Chain A
Amino acid sequence: QVQLQESGPGLVKPSETLSLTCTVSGASISNFCWTWIRQPAEKGLEWIGHICPSGNTNYIPSLKSRVTLSVDTPNNQFSLQVRSVTAADTAIYYCARDVTAFDYWGQGTLVTVSS
């Protein structure tokens, strides 16, 4: 069974960098694409970007200048960094396996941007 678990700070100060890690079990990170999605409180889902085995990445244009995705193959993890955060980046962040469908999701982690 494929399982994903997000981890990282729940509180980030404005202008700093949000960093999250997704740990994958039950599937090799080298064999699939992996994606991040976020959901502000009481709002819909927003795709952030994905990273594929080739190292190819794609990002939503509105975040492209502030976002980096990376993969840690030995630890079967992938990570998200969002730089220069503001209150608008406050959301639940989900990681998911990306087989074009997002077939397995993490439980999500709430990140609040506040001083």
Chain B
Amino acid sequence: DIVLTQTPLSLSVIPGQPASISCKSSQSLLNSGGKTYLYWYLQKPGQSPQLLIYEVSNRFSGVPDRFSGSGSGTDFTLKIGRVEAEDVGIYYCMQGMGVPRTFGQGTNVEF
């Protein structure tokens, strides 16, 4: 199975300041067709997870542009340009390269 390791596991943020989460994969997530199957989700308190970023750097519909994803191969980063109150929750990376799909442990972002 592909293992995803997120750091940090907990992140205390200041409103208006940037934040960054790392996700490292045990295997490359780049497939032979040139796509990289790395995704980011946010689970707000009491809610189901929601897709933020697909294929490393593409924002899903309705996701604010303060969220950005970057990386390649096995190392990936989610950045929040200026954190807002509604951004608190647990952030997960996920790989779609192989079966079973696997998630990172989650990063708890709080003020």
Contact = CB atoms under 8 A, between A and B. Distances in A.
Contact of A101 (B54, B100, B103, B104): B54
Interface residues of B, number: 24
Given A103-B60, A108-B48, A44 B100 contact: no
B60 to A, nearest CB: 7
A107 interface: yes
Contacts, number: 52
A101 B51 contact: yes
B60 A101 contact: yes
B26 interface: no
Interface string B22-53: 00000000000000010101010001111100
A105 B48 CA distance: 7
A2 to B, nearest CB: 11
Given A94-B49, A108-B48, A47 B60 contact: no
Contacts of B37: 100
B49 A103 contact: no
A107 B49 CA distance: 9
B72 interface: no
A102 B94 CA distance: 10
Contacts of A59: 100
B51 A47 contact: no
A2 B69 CA distance: 25
Contacts of A44: 92, 103-106
Given A58-B99, A100-B37, A101-B54, A45 B49 contact: yes
Interface in A56-90: 58-61
Interface of B: 1, 37, 39, 41, 43, 47-51, 54-55, 60, 92, 94, 96, 99-106
